[in-house]
Chains A and B, each alone.
Chain A
Amino acid sequence: ETGVTQTPRHLVMGMTNKKSLKCEQHLGHNAMYWYKQSAKKPLELMFVYNFKEQTENNSVPSRFSPECPNSSHLFLHLHTLQPEDSALYLCASSHLRAGIQETQYFGPGTRLLVL
């Protein structure tokens, strides 16, 4: 248990559905991240939030919409997804201080299947 939780753990959705992924960290960190992990590809950073401010949007399509209401919670809102968006979505958190990226703590992930 790393102190980062993600819900749901598994999600099946149609291309016209709207769903949200939730991440919560109990570690007092100031930065949170969304990653996408597809088969046979490196982990892809999607979004970075530092003290609730989005500091990175790694050219992610607008059908993925992040929300960070406070430094402990992070959401990823999904709408009109494509089958190629099926992947493991990982949330992570860390201390980001003085320009140094410290250890990231990952949640267990949400396995998403888009039909």
Chain B
Amino acid sequence: SQQGEEDPQALSIQEGENATMNCSYKTSINNLQWYRQNSGRGLVHLILIRSNEREKHSGRLRVTLDTSKKSSSLLITASRAADTASYFCATDRAAGGTSYGKLTFGQGTILTVHP
């Protein structure tokens, strides 16, 4: 299996509910990033969390990182129809603290928020 696997692959919720997406990875990392992509468009950066951080917030977004479990979660609170998109995690893999100089993306979670 590959670095940066998101779970679930698809999530369907009602407006106002919370959405939680998970990401697992296999190697040491410098940081983990979450991106959002609307259908057929470019990716938009949401949050970057560094390996020495455990939690970050940005508006309705909350990201956690557990390096012992090599996993991260993205929580979107009070979801809106406009949150409908694909969400990707990406890792800056590291060996001995040195980056490979590229991000490794997972396959993403497709989130659908029904009005």
Q: How many residues of B contact A (CB 8 A)?
A: 29
Chain B residues within an 8 Å CB radius of A103: 33, 45, 48
Question: Once the chains bind, are B102 and A100 in contact (CB under 8 Å)?
Answer: no
Question: Once the chains bind, are B42 and A50 in contact (CB under 8 Å)?
Answer: no
Question: Once the chains bind, are A88 and B40 in contact (CB under 8 Å)?
Answer: yes
Question: Once the chains bind, are A106 and B107 in contact (CB under 8 Å)?
Answer: no
8 Å CB contact of B101 from A41, A43, A48, A107: A48
Interface of A is mostly: strand
Question: Once the chains bind, are B43 and A101 in contact (CB under 8 Å)?
Answer: no
* B58 close to A (CB within 8 Å): no
* B20 close to A (CB within 8 Å): no
8 Å CB contact of A105 from B45, B88, B100, B101: B45
The A-contacting residues of B in range 5-64, CB under 8 angstroms, are 30-31, 33, 35, 40-45, 48
Interface of B is mostly: strand
Chain A residues within an 8 Å CB radius of B35: 106
Query: CA separation between A11 and B33, bound complex, in Å?
Result: 30
Chain A residues within an 8 Å CB radius of B30: 99-101
CB distance from A9 to the nearest CB of B (A): 10
Chain A residues within an 8 Å CB radius of B107: 40-42
Size class of the A contact interface (CB-based, 8 Å)? 20 to 34
Known: A42-B2, A42-B106, A101-B31. A50 touches B45 (CB 8 A): no
Known: A43-B105, A101-B30, A101-B92. A106 touches B42 (CB 8 A): yes
Question: Once the chains bind, are A96 and B101 in contact (CB under 8 Å)?
Answer: yes
